[in-house]
Amino acid sequence: MAKGTKIDELNPRTTKYEFLGPPGAFVISIVVPIVLYALYFGCSEASGGHPPSLSLASLRENVGSAVGSVEWWRSLWDWDASFAYLGWYAFCVASWAVLPGKWVEGTTLRTGGKLKYKVNALPTFFLAISIALALIIRGGPQAFTFIYEKWVGLVSAALLMSLVQATACYIASFRPGALLALGGNSGNVVYDWFIGRELNPGIGCFDISTFNELRPSMILWELIDISMVCEQAVRRGGFVNVTASMWLVLAFHTLYVFDCMYNESALFTTMDVTTDGFGFMLSVGDLVWIPFTFSLQARYLAFCHVELGALGVLGVITVNALGYWIFRSANGEKNEFRNGRNPKNLKYMDTKRGTKLLITGWWGMCQHPNYLGDLIMSVAWCLPTGFSTPITYFYPVYFTVLLVHRQMRDDEACAQKYGDDWKKYKKLVPYKIVPGIY
Ligand code: NDP
């Protein structure tokens, strides 16, 4: 921090709300857990995972009559699942502490300082997968179906963890000297608790926000998928009989998760880390939403064994490959450029701020080509589930809303950062996510 600068001066009051302010934050905080449970009950083996489960009558049949009963509420909580979840979280923390990793500096904070992050999500990923595989080799697929069987209990445990973390971080943010997020210091308890009051909370060198983003969220997503493959293998008499659709979903998700682990340091320049505080939005998003909704297609295939013909397999692989190519090459172009390299000799424009903006290559086609790739992949992940239920297509629908909203937030942030230069850039690159359309 510059000499003479008081922390209060660095923590101005937030005057502009996002997500429709406190009412919006309140509604999202209530709706997210409801959607998480609804996705389970609306797309479970009991409901057949079929469209009628979306109808009111069917919902009443599957869930409604039971919702009022004490047993139904009790079924949401499971002590075995809770201890297993706690053990899983402890495993992630211990792996972070023990496994080797480079310490990498993040971006410059408003205090002038930089935080250091330990980059070892990839070894944690390999360790977790190895343990799962060792269990399966030793005990067969039935040794790893626990996650399928304890799904609701695990969701509840993860939800409780996200509530505890958001609340503890909110309370801790009132200690003297805490650096707050510019958008999380409104003074409204509900809003600040939801959006995140403190910028990079943690204990010592343990930063909770970056830790949660990859380890207990994405690695758990991978383990859930593996458990779903095991469930199908048990039902179909071994791994050799597991459907191509299930293997495809596992392969696509694994590629995505591995990519995130491999490029862990790219996380430190994202909006989640540099701009957003750590509140319920991030804790529930990382700990519950990512693992338990992104794996929905695999859970559906565990009990609905969709068979794809050779043409179907080829088509789905092509869609995913197209999405991944755009996603990886667009992110690669920007990462190289932001790290001072320009191997493709792309054109760029100078800005008064000193940072250059690419205007050819992927970043000359639209403002967020990486979002486009991500969206195409999200569709490819659902195609293996066929077309007999819309529920497995929940992910691309939700993801489109998230990315359009994120693009608008980034547009505002860039307008502030770059001023008139951003207007100039938008004239040169008018499309936001889909060239020629949006
Ligand atoms: P971007 O990677 O699009 O980054 C936006 C930033 O890039 C801007 O703030 C600006 O920052 C810089 N930038 C903008 N235009 C240019 C340009 N022409 N040339 C160079 N730099 C430019 O957004 P995100 O951080 O939101 O996304 C990162 C990845 O994460 C994406 O691939 C996205 O799909 C993915 N993602 C996935 C989610 C999931 O749930 N699966 C959720 C959210 C994101 P500056 O100029 O300051 O460098």
Kindly report the protein residue whose alpha carbon is nearest to atom 13 of ligand 1. 357
Question: Is the CB–ligand 1 distance for residue 422 below 6 Å?
Answer: no
Kindly state the tokens that stand for 311.
């043409």
Element at 63 (helix H, strand E): none
Q: Is the CB of 368 under 6 A from ligand 1?
A: yes
Q: What are phi and psi of 376, to 5 degrees?
A: -65, -40
Q: Check pocket membership of 331 for ligand 1, CB cut-off 6 A.
A: yes
Specify the ligand 1 atom closest to the Cα of 375: 34
Q: What is the pLDDT of residue 54?
A: 45
CA of 369 to the centre of ligand 1 (A): 9
| Atom of ligand 1 lying closest to residue 269 CA | 25
Q: Answer whether residue 332 shows pLDDT above 70.
A: yes
Q: How far is it, in rounded angstroms, from Cα 382 to Cα 248?
A: 10
| Two tokens, residue 437 | 């359309």
What spacing in Å lies between the alpha carbon of 368 and ligand 1's midpoint? 7
pLDDT on residue 51: 44
Q: Which helix (H) or strand (E) holds 131?
A: helix 121-139
Handedness of CA 30, 33, 34, 35 (dihedral sign): positive
Residue 354's H or E segment, with its range, is none
Distance 370 CA to ligand 1 centre (A): 7
Tell me how far apart the alpha carbons of residues 409 and 219 are, in angstroms, rounded to a whole number. Answer: 28
d(CA 121, CA 109): 23
Cβ atoms of residues 272 and 370 within 8 Å:
no
- Alpha-carbon distance of 65 to 32, in angstroms, equals 22
Distances (CA, A) of 207 to 116, 162, 213: 9, 15, 10
Atom 43 of ligand 1, residue of closest alpha carbon = 403
- Ligand 1 neighbour 433 (Cβ under 6 A): no
Confidence of residue 68 (pLDDT cuts 50, 70, 90): low
Strand residues in 270-358 grouped as ranges (E): 348-349, 357-358
| Cα distance between residue 296 and residue 384, in whole Å | 12
**Mutation to probe ligand 1, out of 414, 417, 422 (largest number of atoms < 8 A from CB):** 414
Provide, rounded to the nearest whole percent, the portion of the chain with pLDDT above 70. 93
CA angle 374, 282, 35 (to 5 degrees): 75
- Cα separation, 155 vs 375, whole angstroms: 25
Mean pLDDT, residues 187-210 taken together: 95
Distance 412 CA to ligand 1 centre (A): 13
* Distance in angstroms (rounded) separating the CA atoms of residues 426 and 367: 8
Contact 365, 430 (CB under 8 A): no
If you measure from the C-alpha of residue 410 to the centroid of ligand 1, how many angstroms do you get, rounded to a whole number?
A: 8
Cα 367 to ligand 1 centre (Å): 9
pLDDT bracket for residue 3 (50, 70, 90): low
Whether the CB of 322 sits within 6 Å of ligand 1: no
Nearest-atom number in ligand 1 for the CA of 363 is 18
Q: Where is average pLDDT lowest: 51-55, 353-357, 433-437?
A: 51-55
**Measuring CA to CA, which residue among 271, 272, 281 is closest to residue 193?**
281
Measured in angstroms, how far is the CA atom of residue 332 from the centroid of ligand 1?
A: 11
Determine if ligand 1 sits within 6 Å of the CB of residue 266: no
The candidate with the shortest Cα–Cα distance to 146, out of 81, 240, 206, is: 81
- Please report, for residues 57, 220, 242, 414, 427, the alpha-carbon distance to residue 420 in angstroms, rounded to integers and kept in the order given: 55, 43, 56, 10, 11
Q: What is the pLDDT of residue 74?
A: 86
Tell me phi and psi for residue 180, to 5 degrees: -95, 160
The per-residue pLDDT for 353 is: 86
> According to the model, what pLDDT value does residue 75 have?
86
Which range has the worst mean pLDDT, 2-11, 98-107, 254-263, 312-321? 2-11
Identify the three-state secondary structure at position 106: strand
For ligand 1, say whether the CB of 357 is within 6 Å of any of its atoms. Answer: yes
Question: How many degrees, rounded to 5, is the angle at CA 262 between CA 261 and CA 264?
Answer: 60
Which residue shows structure tokens 């075995």? Answer: 80
Q: How far is Cα 417 from Cα 115, in angstroms, rounded to an integer?
A: 21
Structure tokens at 397: 């629908």
- The protein residue with its alpha carbon nearest to ligand 1, atom 27, reads 270
231 touches 302 (CB < 8 A): yes
CA–CA distances in Å: residue 29 to residues 147, 159, 172, 416: 25, 11, 20, 29
Given a contact cutoff of 8 angstroms between Cβ atoms, the answer to whether 370 and 434 are in contact is: no
Q: How far is the CA of 108 from the centre of ligand 1 (A)?
A: 18
For residue 430, the model assigns a pLDDT of: 95
Please say if the pLDDT value at position 209 is more than 70: yes
Rounded Cα–Cα distance for residues 229 and 133 (Å): 12
| Rg, C-alpha atoms of the chain | 22
> Which residue's CA lies nearest to atom 39 of ligand 1?
399
Atom number, ligand 1, closest to the C-alpha of residue 285: 40
DSSP string, 137-156: HHH-GGGG-HHHHTHHHHHH
Residue identified by tokens 């979903």 is 249
| pLDDT of 16 strictly over 70 | yes
Question: Is residue 57's pLDDT more than 60?
Answer: no
Q: In the chain, what percentage of residues exceed pLDDT 90?
A: 76
Q: Is residue 371 lining ligand 1, measured as CB closer than 6 Å?
A: yes
Among 371, 409, 416, 421, name the best residue to mutate to test ligand 1's pocket (greatest count of ligand atoms within 8 A of Cβ): 371
Cα–Cα dist 430/71, whole Å: 55
Which of 269, 271, 296, 370 has the most ligand 1 atoms within 8 A of CB, as the residue to mutate?
Answer: 370
* Ligand 1 atom nearest residue 429's Cα: 18
